[in-house]
């Protein structure tokens, strides 16, 4: 496999202004006839051949301007078709035979439960036809689809339906035209037996848009939430970003077998069923929120991604980081802003920081890759979104919006780079973002080390802020980045007024208790004057930058922040730190008594009026994954020690606050019928945290959880109860509920994903035998990514103690599955591998993990996807 470098980018030698495709879909194979209207780019010499990507295609015919191409003039290989002696412009015709029904990679044209569907991003279009399969070749498309009318009543592609007709032998045809030039990765085709849910939306400019969701008949009653989410997204994008929809129809199609969540193909979004279908019995609260945000995300791509796309795949974050930022703002506006911020910060600190410290660490704009599919990462998406958020913070919301408008206006219909995005932001604001751009090119999580001093006499408080970014593969030297450090100063009675040394007189701003410091040097100091008392610094408010902060808080200071700071992120974070320090103490001394300050903090949180969902997050123990990440950052992680300490703290909190949990639980029970409203979701979250502690406290609590399971009218409550009983109850009780769950929902694929996941994550008993047995169970399907992610991914990522079993059986299990998937579905195989790649993080087991990676590296015919991950982690 070959490494591709950003620095080697060259503009395409040929453009394709219009593409005609004719599909003949059959059961055993399909035929793809293409007519590419090509033109040699200006300045390109006449002897430059036209190079088209193509994989797994059987060439049936090849002609230029109606003339068959002689064999001396073309060269066909596994990856390319090269043709020379071409005129300046013309029409290239190819015919190919392909085999969608045996395409298990779920990339290109494949079949999911009989349905024909496509996934082309990033480089899947080349498995459909020969084409310059790169995002900077934009073309209009006209697509004819022929198929059996009985098997495939629905025939869909991008754009507008121009024509349909009956053909001989029970076949029929549809012709679609997409007037908007697009890169090949946005092409889509769907053909099959689907049912429609229809609605409409009138845009701000008066365009009537038909909104159509297509699903299997049995799922027709699960589309309302996605449809509502779509309409809300369309309105929000008009109001918040001035973006209007540009066609008369918008489709969402749900398919069972899909590698990711969803895909933003122009006017024909294709979704994993798990990200569209919602019903109280089969979807959790988190699931409802996820559907809303993914529907929005894909819709928002219509501008940030489709109208303005990426020049090359190194620029992936141009569309993904920006679109994640947009969907995060949408979710914040639809629900609770604090909650969204806390949860995004949790994802960043738990998962993205780990990625950024691991062997696959890469900048938001990578400089090289072997397989682009490996770079659809938390770094490109979530850190990329944080980078966009920091730009908004630095420019202010108004200029940021003007910059976004300018970006869309200036680059509509173009394939551009992250630099173009930044340039628009610079042009509207007059700010120089040159130094800021290091966020795009440097990998690794910056660390802020903050120390303070207090001059009692003069009332001057000084913060010394130093930053450092750890070295990563291929980047040993790092420069300082520009960090907006939002902060406040907390006094005995609340937040203090902030005045920085040298600031004129009073800035009579409305909010003079909040500041954004800019940390952009190796070390710098900030002096705050006219303070009546020594403050506690409230740092990184709102998680204003994706950085680690090291400040030596005392427990008393943390308690003060939990109880009194104005910022929910800071309060949540302070509570996390109190719990982390209690857990560290328990790891050193299992007999350690419950920290009285932590006790006071729990009481403080319970008696405050807060967003209940944020309150729930504050009362929940930090996850094992987060604790491992922290421990490996400081040295090595002992997953078994972490697990024991966490169980022990859970027990103490459960018992000490038993009465509190009982009254919280009773007080918050939702009595109205299930609805995924912010209010109900918050109440359920807090009630369920309480229930989980109650089940931990004693047998009475376990019995309560069992009753709660049977009384549940929704999946959220049912799963919380099931997990609690599996963890705290007897084996028989656990089995009873698992069996009941299976009987209730065995016909519901999406509920079965949860059933598999819960068992994969259950660390009581012999998880490995259980997972192996489930791999043979009818509810499992070794070809379906959702099932693989639930069972195998759930085990490797969510069951640390058993995955890290001392005999290495967990690593072996994962290795076996990856080996089998390598040929079948390389994208899923390489994603699944992630937990093994962190072998350097662990005090014990690292050698066995490494040995399993080594074994994989020696397998014959590794896919580029797995090859890259394995080799980079062994390096
Ligand atoms: N753009 C797609 C991701 C496609 C991934 C291909 N390996 C989904 C999204 O980010 O909206
Ligand atoms: Zn996206």
Mean pLDDT of 164-192: 98
- The CA 794 to ligand 1 mean position distance, Å, reads 22
Closest protein CA for atom 2 of ligand 1: 263
Contact 690, 665 (CB under 8 A): yes
User: In the chain, what is the greatest distance between 2 CA atoms, to the nearest angstrom?
Assistant: 95
Locate the ligand 1 atom nearest the alpha carbon of residue 827 and give its number: 7
Report the DSSP pairing between strands 249-255 and 268-272.
parallel
At 603 the three-state DSSP class reads helix
Q: Is the pLDDT of residue 637 over 60?
A: yes
Closest protein CA for atom 8 of ligand 1: 263
Q: CA 362, 367, 368, 372: dihedral to nearest 10 degrees?
A: 70
Q: Is the pLDDT of residue 664 over 70?
A: yes
Locate the ligand 1 atom nearest the alpha carbon of residue 381 and give its number: 10
Q: Is 376 in the pocket of ligand 1 (CB under 6 A)?
A: yes
Q: Is the pLDDT of residue 511 over 90?
A: no
Mean pLDDT of 203-228: 98
DSSP code string of 153-169: -EEEESSEEEEEEE-ST
Locate the ligand 1 atom nearest the alpha carbon of residue 264 and give its number: 11
What does residue 93 show for φ and ψ, rounded to 5 degrees? -115, 130
- The CA 381 to ligand 2 mean position distance, Å, reads 8
Q: Is 137 in the pocket of ligand 1 (CB under 6 A)?
A: no
For the record, the structure tokens of 837 come out as 């790649």
Q: What is the pLDDT of residue 94?
A: 99
Q: What is the pLDDT of residue 507?
A: 55
Q: CA 156, 157, 161, 164: dihedral to nearest 10 degrees?
A: -50
Q: What is the pLDDT of residue 510?
A: 59
Contact 146, 176 (CB under 8 A): no
- What's the DSSP call for residue 623? P
Alpha helix (H) residue ranges in 415-476: 418-429, 438-441
CA distance 596 to 486: 30
Asked if the bond preceding 309 is cis, omega within 30° of 0, the reply is no
Indicate the pLDDT class of residue 647, thresholds 50, 70 and 90. Answer: very high
CA distance 852 to 815: 6
- The CA 319 to ligand 2 mean position distance, Å, reads 7
Mean pLDDT of 283-310: 98
The residues with which 14 forms a beta bridge, in sequence order, are 40
> Is residue 208 packed enough to be buried (19+ CB in 10 Å), middle (13-18) or exposed (0-12)?
exposed
Which one of the ligands is nearest to 298 CA? 1
At 315 the three-state DSSP class reads helix
Q: What is the pLDDT of residue 505?
A: 57
Q: What is the pLDDT of residue 502?
A: 84
Which one of the ligands is nearest to 318 CA? 2
Q: Is the pLDDT of residue 720 over 70?
A: yes
Locate the ligand 1 atom nearest the alpha carbon of residue 298 and give its number: 11
How many Å from the N-terminal Cα to the C-terminal Cα in the chain?
16
At 386 the three-state DSSP class reads helix
**Which is the catalytic residue, given 121, 154, 298, 728?**
298
Mean pLDDT of 693-717: 98
Pocket-testing residue among 127, 320, 330, ligand 1, by greatest number of atoms within 8 A of Cβ: 320
Q: Is the pLDDT of residue 509 over 80?
A: no
- The CA 673 to ligand 2 mean position distance, Å, reads 34
pTM above 0.90, yes or no: yes
Q: Is 373 in the pocket of ligand 1 (CB under 6 A)?
A: yes
Pocket-testing residue among 124, 125, 260, 261, ligand 1, by greatest number of atoms within 8 A of Cβ: 260
Closest protein CA for atom 4 of ligand 1: 121
Which one of the ligands is nearest to 320 CA? 2
For the record, the structure tokens of 855 come out as 């074994």
- The CA 298 to ligand 1 mean position distance, Å, reads 9
Task: Write out pLDDT tens, residues 340-360.
Answer: 999 999 999 999 999 999 999
> Which residues line ion ligand 2, judged by CB < 5 Å?
320, 323
Indicate the pLDDT class of residue 395, thresholds 50, 70 and 90. Answer: very high
- The CA 584 to ligand 1 mean position distance, Å, reads 39
Q: What is the pLDDT of residue 365?
A: 98
Task: Write out pLDDT tens, residues 33-53.
Answer: 999 999 999 999 999 999 999
- Residues with Cβ within 8 Å of 467's Cβ and at least 6 positions away in sequence, in order, are 446, 447, 448, 449, 480, 481, 483, 519, 521, 522, 523, 547
Half-sphere exposure in the Cβ direction for 485 (13 Å, CA): 30
CA distance 490 to 513: 9
Q: Is 320 in the pocket of ligand 1 (CB under 6 A)?
A: yes
CA distance 199 to 245: 15
Mean pLDDT of 725-745: 98
Mean pLDDT of 623-644: 98
CA distance 625 to 799: 10
The residues with which 23 forms a beta bridge, in sequence order, are 32, 145
Q: CA 711, 712, 713, 716: dihedral to nearest 10 degrees?
A: 180
Report the DSSP pairing between strands 58-64 and 67-68.
antiparallel
Q: Is the pLDDT of residue 578 over 90?
A: yes
Task: Write out pLDDT tens, residues 437-486.
Answer: 999 999 999 999 999 999 999 999 999 999 999 998 889 999 999 999 99
Locate the ligand 1 atom nearest the alpha carbon of residue 305 and give its number: 1
Contact 244, 252 (CB under 8 A): no
Pocket-testing residue among 118, 121, 261, ligand 1, by greatest number of atoms within 8 A of Cβ: 121
Closest protein CA for atom 6 of ligand 1: 121
- The CA 209 to ligand 1 mean position distance, Å, reads 24
What does residue 276 show for φ and ψ, rounded to 5 degrees? -125, -50
What does residue 863 show for φ and ψ, rounded to 5 degrees? -65, 155
Task: Write out pLDDT tens, residues 8-29.
Answer: 999 999 999 999 999 999 999 9
Q: Is 302 in the pocket of ligand 1 (CB under 6 A)?
A: no
For the record, the structure tokens of 767 come out as 């998880």
What's the Rg (C-alpha) of the chain? Answer: 28
Task: Write out pLDDT tens, residues 745-778.
Answer: 999 999 999 999 999 999 999 999 999 999 999 9
Pocket-testing residue among 120, 262, 304, ligand 1, by greatest number of atoms within 8 A of Cβ: 262
Mean pLDDT of 385-401: 99
Q: Is 726 in the pocket of ligand 1 (CB under 6 A)?
A: no
Predicted complex: ipTM over 0.95: yes
298 is catalytic: yes
CA distance 745 to 867: 39
Mean pLDDT of 618-630: 98
- 62-93 CB burial, b ≥16 within 10 A, e <16: bebeeeebeeeebebeeeebebeebeeebbbb
- The CA 320 to ligand 1 mean position distance, Å, reads 8
Q: Find the angle CA(301)-CA(304)-CA(306) to the nearest 5 degrees.
A: 65
Residue found by looking up tokens 């340039």 in the block: 423
Locate the ligand 1 atom nearest the alpha carbon of residue 262 and give its number: 8
Q: What is the mean pLDDT of the chain?
A: 97
For the record, the structure tokens of 3 come out as 């490494």
Q: Is the pLDDT of residue 106 over 60?
A: yes
Q: Is 611 in the pocket of ligand 1 (CB under 6 A)?
A: no
Residue found by looking up tokens 């950085």 in the block: 547
- What percent of the residues of the chain are helix, what percent strand, and what percent coil, each to the nearest 5? 45, 20, 30
Q: Is the pLDDT of residue 556 over 60?
A: yes
Mean pLDDT of 373-383: 98
Task: Write out pLDDT tens, residues 187-210.
Answer: 999 999 999 999 999 999 999 999
- What's the DSSP call for residue 481? -
Closest protein CA for atom 10 of ligand 1: 320
CA distances 24 to 191, 674, 858, Å, are: 11, 46, 41
Pocket-testing residue among 264, 269, 294, 313, ligand 1, by greatest number of atoms within 8 A of Cβ: 264
Closest protein CA for atom 5 of ligand 1: 121
Locate the ligand 1 atom nearest the alpha carbon of residue 122 and give its number: 6
Indicate the pLDDT class of residue 645, thresholds 50, 70 and 90. Answer: very high
Q: What is the pLDDT of residue 394?
A: 98
Q: Is 260 in the pocket of ligand 1 (CB under 6 A)?
A: yes
Q: What is the pLDDT of residue 608?
A: 87
Closest protein CA for atom 7 of ligand 1: 373
Locate the ligand 1 atom nearest the alpha carbon of residue 301 and give its number: 11
Asked if the bond preceding 122 is cis, omega within 30° of 0, the reply is yes
Q: Give me the count of residues in the chain.
A: 875
Q: Is the pLDDT of residue 504 over 80?
A: no
């Amino acid at each position: 496999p070959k490494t591709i470098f950003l620095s080697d980018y060259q503009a395409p030698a040929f453009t394709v202004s219009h593409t005609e495709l004719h599909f003949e879909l059959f059961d055993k194979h399909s035929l793809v006839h293409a007519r590419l209207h090509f033109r040699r780019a200006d300045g390109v010499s006449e002897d430059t051949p036209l190079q088209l990507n193509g994989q797994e295609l059987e060439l049936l015919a090849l002609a230029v301007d109606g003339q068959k191409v002689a064999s001396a003039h073309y060269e066909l290989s596994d990856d390319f078709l090269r043709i020379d002696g071409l005129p300046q412009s013309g029409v290239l015709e190819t015919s190919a035979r392909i085999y969608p029904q045996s395409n298990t990679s779920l990339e290109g044209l494949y079949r999911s439960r009989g349905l024909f569907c496509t996934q082309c991003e990033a480089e899947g279009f080349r498995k459909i036809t020969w084409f310059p399969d790169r995002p900077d070749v934009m073309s209009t498309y006209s697509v004819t689809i022929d198929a059996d009318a009985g098997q495939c009543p629905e025939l869909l592609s991008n754009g507008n339906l121009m024509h349909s007709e009956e053909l001989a032998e029970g076949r029929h045809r549809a012709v679609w035209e997409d007037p908007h030039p697009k890169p090949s990765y946005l092409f889509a085709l769907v053909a099959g037996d689907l049912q429609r849910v229809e609605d409409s939306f009138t845009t701000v400019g008066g365009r009537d848009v038909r909104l159509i969701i297509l699903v299997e008949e049995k799922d027709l009653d699960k589309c309302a939430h996605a449809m509502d989410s779509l309409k809300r997204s369309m309105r929000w994008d008009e109001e918040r970003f001035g973006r209007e929809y540009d066609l008369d129809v918008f489709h969402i199609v749900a398919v069972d077998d899909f590698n990711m969540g969803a895909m933003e193909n122009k006017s024909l979004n294709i979704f994993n069923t798990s990200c569209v279908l919602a019903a109280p019995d089969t979807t959790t609260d988190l699931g409802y929120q996820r559907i809303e945000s993914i529907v929005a995300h894909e819709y928002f791509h219509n501008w940030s991604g489709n109208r303005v796309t990426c020049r090359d795949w190194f620029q992936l974050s141009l569309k993904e980081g920006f679109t994640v930022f947009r969907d995060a703002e949408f979710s914040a506006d639809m629900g609770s802003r604090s909650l969204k911020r806390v949860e995004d910060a949790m994802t960043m600190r738990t998962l993205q920081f780990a990625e950024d410290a691991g062997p696959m660490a890469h900048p938001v704009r990578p400089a090289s890759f072997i397989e682009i599919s490996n770079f659809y990462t938390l770094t490109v998406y979530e850190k990329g979104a944080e980078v966009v958020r920091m730009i908004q913070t630095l420019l202010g919301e108004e200029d940021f919006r003007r910059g976004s408008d300018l970006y869309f206006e200036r680059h509509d219909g173009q394939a551009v780079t992250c630099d173009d995005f930044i340039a628009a932001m610079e042009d509207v604001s007059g700010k120089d973002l040159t130094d800021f751009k290091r966020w795009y090119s440097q990998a690794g999580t910056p660390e802020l080390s903050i120390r303070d001093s207090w001059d009692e006499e003069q009332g001057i408080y000084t913060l010394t802020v130093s930053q450092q970014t750890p070295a990563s593969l291929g980047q040993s030297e790092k420069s300082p980045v520009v960090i907006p450090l939002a902060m406040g100063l907390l006094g005995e009675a609340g937040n203090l007024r902030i005045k920085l040394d040298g600031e004129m007189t009073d800035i009579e701003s409305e909010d003079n208790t909040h500041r954004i410091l800019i940390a952009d040097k190796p070390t710098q100091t900030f002096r705050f004057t006219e303070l009546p008392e020594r403050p506690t610094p409230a740092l990184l408010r709102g998680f204003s930058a994706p950085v680690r902060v090291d400040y030596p808080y005392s427990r008393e200071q943390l308690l003060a922040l939990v109880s009194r700071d104005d910022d929910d992120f800071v309060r949540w974070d302070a509570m996390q730190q109190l719990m982390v320090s209690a857990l560290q103490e328990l790891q050193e001394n299992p007999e350690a008594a419950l920290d009285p300050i932590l006790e006071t903090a729990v009481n403080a949180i319970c008696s405050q009026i807060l967003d209940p969902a944020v309150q729930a997050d504050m009362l929940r123990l930090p996850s094992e994954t987060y604790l491992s990440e922290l421990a490996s950052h400081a040295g090595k992680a002992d997953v078994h020690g972490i697990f024991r300490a966490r169980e022990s703290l859970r027990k103490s909190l459960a018992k000490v606050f038993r009465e509190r949990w009982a009254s919280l639980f009773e007080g918050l029970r939702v009595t109205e019928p299930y609805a995924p409203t912010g209010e109900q979701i918050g109440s359920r979250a807090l009630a369920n945290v309480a229930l989980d502690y109650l089940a931990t406290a004693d047998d009475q609590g376990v019995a309560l959880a069992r009753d709660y399971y049977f009384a549940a009218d929704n999946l959220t409550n049912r799963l919380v109860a099931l997990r609690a009983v599996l963890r705290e109850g007897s084996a028989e009780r656990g089995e009873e509920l698992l069996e009941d769950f299976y009987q209730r929902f065995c016909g519901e694929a999406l509920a079965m994903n949860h059933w598999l996941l819960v068992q994969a994550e259950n660390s009581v008993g012999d998880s490995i035998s259980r997972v192996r047995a489930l791999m043979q169970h009818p509810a499992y399907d070794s070809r379906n990514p959702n099932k693989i992610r639930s069972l195998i991914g759930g085990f490797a990522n969510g069951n640390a103690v058993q995955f890290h079993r001392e005999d290495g059986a967990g690593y072996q299990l994962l290795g076996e599955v990856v080996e089998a998937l390598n040929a079948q579905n390389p994208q899923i195989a390489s994603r699944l591998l992630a937990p093994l790649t962190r072998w350097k993080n662990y005090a014990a087991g690292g050698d066995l993990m490494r040995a399993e990676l080594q074994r994989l590296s020696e397998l014959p015919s590794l896919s580029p996807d797995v090859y890259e991950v394995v080799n980079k982690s062994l390096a």
